Amino acid sequence: PPLPPPVTLEGKALSTVVVAKVLGLFLQSNLKWDRQVCESTKKANKRMFMLRRLKTFGLSVPDLVTVYCSFIRPVVEYCAPVYHHSLTSKQTAALELVQRRACRIILGRHYTGYTSALLQCGLETLETRRMNLCRRFAVSMQTSERTADLMPQTRGESSGRKLRNSKTLTLPKTRTTRFSNSPVPSMIR
For residues 72 and 187, which has the higher predicted lDDT (pLDDT)? Answer: 72
Question: What is the torsion angle, in degrees rounded to the nearest 10, for the CA atoms of residue 6, residue 11, residue 12 and residue 18?
Answer: -40
Confidence (pTM) = 0.79
DSSP string, 125-157: -HHHHHHHHHHHHHHHHHH-TTTGGGSPPBHHH
* Residue 20 DSSP SS3: strand
Q: What is the mean pLDDT of residues 182-187?
A: 71
pLDDT of res. 189: 66
Question: pLDDT tens across 40-70, in order?
Answer: 999 999 999 999 999 999 999 999 999 999 9
Fill in the DSSP letter of residue 10.
Answer: T
Which amino acid would we find at residue 182? S
